[in-house]
Structure formats: C-alpha cells, structure tokens
Structure 1
Amino acid sequence: MKSVKIVPIFYLVAFFFHNYNEVKCNKVYTTGDNFMPCSECKDINKCGGCLFEYNESLPSAIELKLTKKNRDKNIHDNLKIHHDSLKLGNVKYYVKRGEGVSGSLGNASGNDISNMVEIHNEIKNRTEQKEKNKSSLSFMDHSNNNIEEGKEGYNFSKIQKHEQDGFEKIKSQIDKDATSSSDSVEYDNTNRTAPSKGVTIEETSDNVFLVPLQHLRDSQFVGKLLVGTPPQEIHPIFDTGSTNLWVVTTECKEESCKKVHQYNPNKSKTFRRSFVKQNLHIVFGSGSITGTLGKDNFILGNHTVRNQTFGLVKSESSDNLNNTDNVFEYINFEGIVGLGFPGMLTAGSIPFFDNLLKQYKNVTPQFSFYISPNDEASTFIVGGISKSYYEGDIYMLPVVKEYYWEVKLDAIYVGDEKICCEEESYAIFDSGTSYNTMPSIQIDNFFKRVISKPCNEENYNDILKDYPTIKYVFGKLVIELLPNEYMIVNEDLCVPAYMQIDVPSENNNAYLLGTIAFMRHYFTIFVRGQEGSPSMVGVAKAKRS
C-alpha cells in the first residue's frame, strides 16, 4: 500500500518541479489566462493582446549589417560617457516626438549622440564653476556673519521631473539659439539659459541641466535598396521610428557625401522631379543636409515600388565653429526608409511601405526584424515572418495610436522591485534606436540597482550572476531581459545598455526598446491594422544562430 501511495506523489512532485522550472526559464510568458488567437478575439484592446497566426506567404528578406559612426572608437563609448554625465548632477536628456531626423524622435536643434564628450565636459565645467561661486559666496557671508544665507547652495543630488511647459520654454530658447552664431554669445553663470559653444545645454531655475538630442542614432543596421532604372544600389536604415524616405545623391558635391554610395538621378530613366515647392531639410548635431523632392522606382527584395516620392540630399554642411566632422564623415549609411505610420509623413502623399502594399495587394501588411548576435547576419523581412528566427509563440500587442509603434506599458520590474508605472506609460519599439531608455524620474532608481562594474570577456558571466532580471509587463504578458541581454562590455567595464531619455507628451512617459538591448533578443513583428482591426506589435523569443 505504501508503494502505491509513493508513486503518484513522486510523479506529482516531478510534474510540479518540471512546470515550475519551465515557467521560470521562459522569457516571454503570460500571467492568468493564455492569449487566444487573434482571429478569435473580437476586441484586441479588451483581450489585452492575442496570439499571432502564421499564414503562408512569400516574404522578401533583406540582409542587414551593423554600421557605427566612428570606427576608431569602441561602439559603446558614447553610452558610457552618457552614464558618466548623469553622475555630475541634475542632468536630463530629452527628445520630442516628430521633430528629429526625418520626423523621428528628436529635436529640431540640439546635440548629436557623438557629442557626448563635449556635453559631459560642459556640464562638468558649469558644475565646478557653480561650486566655486558657492564657495566664494560662503566666504563673503561668513565675513558678514550671514552664515545661514551662505549655506544655501545648489543641489544636484536628485533628478527631478520637468513638466511639458518647461520643454516648450526650452524649445523656444533653442530655436532662437539655432538662428544665431555660437560665437556671439558669452556664457555667464548668472544667465541660466546661456548656450555654450559646441553643445546646447539649458539650465532651469531649479538648477537642472536639460540636454536636447536631435536623434538617438549611434550604431545602425542598414540593408540593400535599389533605386531608379537601371537600378542603383544604396544602403539605408530601415527605421520604425520615422516615416519619410530620403537618399544621398550625386548632387551633393561635398567631399563627405562622396564617402558613401550616391544615387545619381540623371542616370535613371524613371526619375521625375517634384513640381511641389517643398524642400528637404534635416538637422544633425554636427550640421545639416538639405535637398528637394522627386519620384522614382525602388526595389526592395522581390518588390518594385513605382513612383515613390522621396527626398534627394543635395548638400551637406558641417558646424565649422565647433570643428566637427560632417554628417557622412562619421556615419556610414546612405539614407533612411521610414516604416512608421502616415501621420508622421512630411515628404510626399504616401509612405514607402503603404505604397508597396497599395501596389502589391497579395503582400501581407507586416514586416519583421531579426537582429542576430552576429551583426553580419541580421534580417529585415517584408510581407511576413520566418519561423527559423524565433521559438515559441508570437504575442501580439495593440498599438495605442498609429503614429509610432507604441503600446501600453503596465509595469517594469528590476528584480522584485517595481519601478514603473504609477502613471500611464508606453513602450515604443524603435529599430532606429540602439539602446533601451528610461525617463529621468526612474533612471536614478534604476542605476542604483543596475550599476556598471569592471569586467572583461573572461569573467563576464561570473560578474553578471549578481544582476537582476528586468521584466516588462504588458497586461498579462511578461517579457524578461536577463543580465547577459541588457549588459554590454565596453572595454573593461560591464555597462547597462540603457540611456536616460525623456519623451514628454500628453501620453506621459515613453520607454524606448531598441535594437541592441531588446530586438537582438526578441524577434519583433510589426503588423498594420486592416478592416477595423488595430495595428499591432508582436514579440517572440529570438533563436540564437
């Protein structure tokens, strides 16, 4: 009798242990009821998401390769310097929606990520000057017996939240600065909005340094695109964070433009200039590029998109006052293919992907990214997915507003501690951003739990044993990032692949999920809504090649 009782108990324990470990090891999983197939969910928003259903299709696969701006530097140097600058005091980096390069996240004027050294040094110099002023003030107050007044100084120990109206005021000031020469303004410590030479840094009345970034592109994945008749090959970025399409042309005579592949409109039989008097103007931290609009045929994989309006880069100018390189001196791509929604379009009447769908009715309205650990083997897929790139189910989340690929975010856990989201928050899946981001109200708390440590390739795994798992919660869907997925080695230091970026808007906080720290570990699919169904973003655990 005893042996009869022991056998079922043994199997019960074994079953529980097996399933517990299976749940514990899962990287994408649901809490509560499982997701139902998307076709069975009448209201995706009420369902909180659904399961992707695979349909046989003939997608086009485009190979992607990683490029970086400065080949002489470690690819993550700017990230480390960004972290160092946050330690100097109340420092807040921010981008605005739809004002960056080609309508992406960024600012119409401000700083480039490659300016991190100059930004760090400027904040450090200003902070040291304030400390000197405080010491001088304290000495004077002692001599006048005004000791209590002399104790009042600047506090850079906390990162405080700035409101939307503060950004509007800063933006107004930045726009004014952009129209004047940097040499015409002398920095005065009593003027909290005085711009510095080389970088744009604003100071609020409560001593917060606000640092506007024009875009979040540092290292990028580029792929093959053919333009014109006969076809000319270029290598643009495929960017879910913007919508416009532009390419570098032979009409740009600067030496920096000649360092990349250039499209020659005069050699294309199908090229037509636009009759619309609309110019292309894109501002980078180290200069700007300008051009005009035209139409031509584009070949992406197996699909030819005819009569597509795009921007032709005709000139490129650097900020010579700051002795910086031109745009194409430090970045190796030849254009941008925006894959965002039509609401962000400023060049032409129909975005590239929408035009492709219009001309090919049999193409499934979706595209996907596989970012490989081997940067030479990544893939952009148009019109479907490939089962060879992911494992398990693909969990679909509804887009809250068809502008960015943005979904509702309910919580972020670092280990067992919840650090988000008391206010309504959102996650933006952005193939044009390298790292993940946190807003200023969370970053201090985040870095207390996820700190940089000395390490190398040999002891990397041992060092990471002490780091927590990061969990993103979307309703009942949980997506995990393990330490070896969000920590990167920069020379002799293990660094979290996160930047502090504020994205102010009426939608409160936005958290960006980029290529290196998220999409490299999760196969990501972007599905356009149709026949009343919303657009969705899908996530599955990526297979390791």
Structure 2
Amino acid sequence: MEKRSTGTNLLTNQNADSSYFGTVAIGTPPVAFNVILDTGSSDLWVADQACTTGCSKVQLFNDQSSSTFHNLSEPFNIQYGSGAATGTLGQDVVQMAGFSVPNQIFGVVTQATSGLLSPPVSGLLGLGWQSIATSKAEPLWQTLASSGAWTDPLMAFQLTRFVNGSNVNDVEPGGSFTMGFVNSSLYTGTIDYQAIPTTPSYWILPMTSLTVQGSSISIPSGSSSYSAIDTGTTLVGGPSSVIQNIFAQIPGSQPGTGSWQGYWTYPCNTAVNVAISFGGPSWPISPADFQLTKISSSQCVGAFFELSTSGSAPNWIVGDTFLKNVYSVFRYSPASVGFAALSNTALAMNGVNAAAPSPTIGSVSASATAGTGGGSNSASHRWGIPWVPLVGGISVAIGAVWM
C-alpha cells in the first residue's frame, strides 16, 4: 500500500435505469472494460477473446496481450436467473478509480447465456463480501478497504433516473461511484448508518417499515425482514403476501399475467407513494420509479414484484427502484449500509440531456495486494443479475436464488 486515497468512477445508466455500469482496467498494458457494478454478488468476470457465445459486440479480454496475466487453470461457473457465465479463473492487475490490485482473481469467461451481456458491457464487478464469492477470491473492493488503501473504509453510489424520460438513449449519464470517501456535494443532511445484522455476505438490512399511499403495510420482523441492498437489481422484490398487500392499497390493481406473472398492474394515472425504513428514517420512492412501464393506454406495471427465496437468501431484494432515491453508502468497518437524502446537485442529473461518460480509470494513486482465494465453488444460495427480457422490449436485471 502506498498511501490512503480516494477515487471516483463515473457511471453509465443503461436501458432507462435497467442497470448501471462503471469501468475497470485489466492487465499490462491496461485495457478498459465496462462492468455492471453489483453489490448483490462478489465476483469479477469479463468476457474473453476465446468466448464463443453471448459475447458479441463487447470489448473482450485478451489474456495473451497482458504480460502480467496468470492462468489459474481452475473452472469458473456462475449461475444467474436467465443463464450462466462459464470459463476459467485468472489473475492479473486490476485498476479502478485510481486504485490498483496487482494480483486480483477474476473469471475469464468463454461462454455466456445469450442476453446476459448487453453491449457495451463486458462483464460484472461484484461488490458484495468474499463469503458469497463463487470463486472464493477476495473481491477488489474488500482488498482495498481491508488494506487501508482508502481514506475512509467505504464506497458510495448516486444513481440517476431516466425511466420516466422521453427519447431516452440506450446509454445515459448514470451518476457516480466513489471509493474511499463520500461526495458531500451529492447528499444533504446526515448519512444514517444501520449495522448489518449478520456475518457479512450480502449487504443486508432488516426492513422495519413499509408504507403505501400513507398506509402502513404489515411486514414480518427478524430474519424474515432481511433485505439485500443490491445495485445489480433493477426493481424491488419481496414476499408474495406483502407485495399483494402493497397493491391492495392501490385501487384498480391486478396481478400480471403471461410474461408479467409475479408482477402487478395498476392504473397509470395513479401516483403511487411508497416509503421504506430500515431502522432509521423512512425513505420515499418517487412515483416515477414505482411505475416500471406502460402495457396499455391505462395500465402500468409496478416496480415491486413477488420474489420466492429459500435457504440463506434474504426475503427482500432492494434494487435501483429504491436506490435512485437516496445516496447509498456501503461501509466495510463497522459493516453497515448508510442512506442520505440526495442533494439538489444530484437530483439535477436526473433525465438530463447529456452524453454518457467515457471510461474513467484514473491514474494509480494507491495499490493493495489481494488476499488468498481461488478454487471453484458452486454457489449454494446467491443473487445474480440476469437479463430477463420482458414484454414491451423492457429488460430488467433481477436477483436470482439458486439451490
């Protein structure tokens, strides 16, 4: 480690808030790759030049052209709700936002299910904890946080909203991801931190209250209220009984049918106000975020869907529908998640007509050595971010649970 430091990665908003990607550079000389930033999983992987399926029109990793690449010759296989990515594990220099880890283990993917990668995205950067890494490798962020490379042991997101815009491009400005500091220009008031109630795996918080149109919805307490705070999921998923109760507060709601099974429709002219608390303040969700898409002249699909989980997976998955409405902080020590109200500066970025950012790697100001890891492992219960193509041309990234 050279010195404590901070860094920022500008984000890109893809497909009207379906996902948010940033940039990492891999190898010597470094090559930039667009990767989904996913707090709901813990592995880094990119598509390799030897990729045979699911990798067209994206930047590919060439392990032959990096002088520092080391092939670990171990299989890598990660399951997502709409398919899988498979390949082998490698080790190389990985840079992000001015930080460098010289021996990061990552998946070199040679096959991906069609539709898993949506150009120009080449892979995924997991920002969850090592305990849920399929590769068993220490995640990039955790290496940096634990080694003291960051000025403060935390990372933070501000995400933009384009879901309610007209003439939205495939890629738009997505906000920012910071390492080692919080950007005080992007939030107002204080950051409310809530401790993770379990041994760190997912970024879990207990959901303590939920209101719809001013009415309180009954939610189970204890571990039944555990929610994965997940930047790699587009929407909010929860237990069927609670989701049904939410829509019971909205006159004219109907359960979705066909490809919308598990979703609910409601009259588009209803502004739905949902607010969630995780033990601190109650955070409102914009009615624009609750309205996922229009499927007829009068009916819209809501952004809360019925999710069935089992085993160690939390009952709730709280994705970008919620996270667009707050400044979110993921803290290594003490392990906690913090939320704050967005500043006017941050809110002014929503729906703005501007070019998507160009890759931001940053010149290396600090480096850290990754901990031990490696070894293939089938994930027992985990989230992922699949691309689920839905009717109306909507793509939604949804966390999935695998036995």
Q: TM-score, normalised by structure 1?
A: 0.54
Q: Give the RMSD, CA atoms, in angstroms.
A: 2.5
2:144 to 349, 356, 371: 356
Structure 1 residue 474 displacement after superposition = 3.1
Q: Determine which of 218, 243, 248 is the counterpart of 2:47.
A: 248
Contact 2:57 2:119 in 1 (8 A): no
Within the alignment, does 1:64 sit opposite 2:11 as a pair? Answer: yes
Who is 1:272 aligned against?
A: 70
Query: 1:195-239 CA deviation, whole Å, 9 max, x = no partner?
Result: xxxxxxxxxxxxxxxxxxxxxxx9211111111011111101111
Partner of 2:135: 347
1:472 aligns with 2:276: yes
Select the residue among 33, 48, 56 that pairs with 1:258.
Answer: 56
Q: Which of 424, 445, 457 matches 2:245? A: 445
1:7-29 residue CA offsets vs partner (Å, 9 max, x unmatched): xxxxxxxxxxxxxxxxxxxxxxx
Match of 1:420 in 2: 218
Structure-2 change in CA distance of 1:410 and 1:454 (3 Å): closer
**What's the secondary structure of 1:354's corresponding residue?**
helix
**How many percent identity over aligned positions?**
27
The code of the aligned residue for 1:334 comes to S
The alignment status of 1:522 with 2:326, answered yes or no, reads yes
State the distance in 2 between where 1:284 and 1:403 align.
17
Pairing 1:499–2:299 present: no
1:400 aligns with 197
The alpha-carbon deviation at position 279 of structure 1 amounts to 0.5
| Greater alpha carbon shift after TM alignment, 287-296 vs 243-252 | 287-296
Contact 1:242 1:338 in 2 (8 A): yes
Contact 2:39-2:232 within 8 A present in 1 as well: yes
Query: For residue 289 of structure 1, what is the aligned residue in structure 2?
Result: 85
Larger deviation, residues 295-304 vs 372-381? 372-381
Alpha-carbon offset, residue 278 of structure 1 = 2.7
Structure 1 position 385 matched with structure 2 position 182: yes
Alignment match of 1:300 (pick from 81, 96, 102): 96
8 Å contact kept, 1:399–1:537? yes
Aligned to 2:315: 510
2:390 alignment partner in structure 1: none
Distance 2:280 2:78 in 1: 41
Structure 2 unaligned residues grouped into runs of 5+: 163-171, 254-264, 349-403
Superposition deviation, residue 361 in structure 1:
3.3
Shift of 1:539: 0.5
More strand by share: 2
Gaps of 5+ in 1: 1-56, 69-74, 76-217, 319-325, 456-462
**Aligned AA for 2:238?**
M
Which deviates the most, 494-503 or 359-368? Answer: 359-368
Partner Cα distance (1:482, 1:369) in 2: 18
Change (3 A) 1:328 1:340: closer
Distance 1:404 1:538, change over 3 A: same
Residue 258 (structure 1) shift: 3.4
Q: Give the greater-gyration-radius structure (CA).
A: 1
Task: Answer yes or no: is the 8 Å Cα contact 1:249–1:312 preserved in 2.
Answer: yes
- 1:389 Cα offset (Å): 1.1
- SS state of the match for residue 61, structure 2? coil
After TM superposition, give the deviation of residue 294 of structure 1 in Å. 1.1
Letter in 2 for 1:252: C
CA shift in 2, pair 1:419/1:346, >3 Å: same
Higher RCO (CA < 8 A, seq sep 6+): 2
User: C-alpha deviations, 1:315-370, integer Å up to 9, x for none?
Assistant: 34x5xxxxxxx245756421111111121123254221122235553532110110
Corresponding residue for residue 338 of structure 1: 126
For 2:389, the equivalent position in structure 1 comes to: none
TM-score if structure 2 supplies the norm length? 0.71
Code of the residue aligned with 1:383 in structure 2: it is: G
- Contact 2:5–2:150 under 8 Å retained in 1: no
1:373 shift after superposition: 2.3
Q: How does 1:85-484 map to 2 (within 5 A)?
A: 219-254=18-53, 256-274=54-72, 278-284=74-80, 287-316=83-112, 326-327=114-115, 332-358=120-146, 360-374=148-162, 375-401=172-198, 402-424=200-222, 425-450=225-250, 451=253, 452-455=265-268, 463-465=269-271, 467=272, 469-484=273-288
* Contact 1:66–1:220 (CA under 8 A) maintained in structure 2: yes
Q: Residues of 1 paired with 2:83 and 2:283: CA distance?
A: 39
Question: Structure 1 residues 500, 332: CA separation in 2 closer, same or farther (over 3 Å shift)?
Answer: farther
Deviations 1:430-460 (A, max 9, x none): 00100012211212222222334454xxxxx
Q: Are residues 409 and 67 of structure 1, via their aligned partners in 2, closer, same or farther at CA, if it must alter by over 3 Å?
A: same
The whole-number CA distance in structure 2 between the counterparts of 1:496 and 1:286 is 21
Match runs of 1:530-541 below 5 Å: 534-541=334-341
**One-letter amino acid matched to 1:250:** Q
Where 1:259 maps in the other structure, the secondary structure is coil
CA distance in 2, matches of 1:253, 1:485: 37
Q: Confirm or deny: 8 A CA contact 1:260 1:328 kept in the other structure.
A: no
Structure ranking higher in helix proportion: 1
Give the 3 Å change call, closer, same or farther, for CA 447–232 of structure 1 in structure 2: same
Pairwise CA distance, 1:422: 3.5
Partners of 1:265 and 1:392 lie apart in 2 by 46
Q: Deviations over 1:352-395 (max 9, x none)?
A: 11222355535321101100125414111111111121122111
The answer (yes or no) to whether the contact 1:288–1:327 under 8 Å persists in 2 is no
Q: Does structure 1 retain, via aligned residues, the 8 Å contact 2:13–2:174?
A: no
Distance 2:227 2:86 in 1: 32
Going from structure 1 to structure 2, the CA distance change for 1:479 and 1:518 (only over 3 Å counts) comes to same
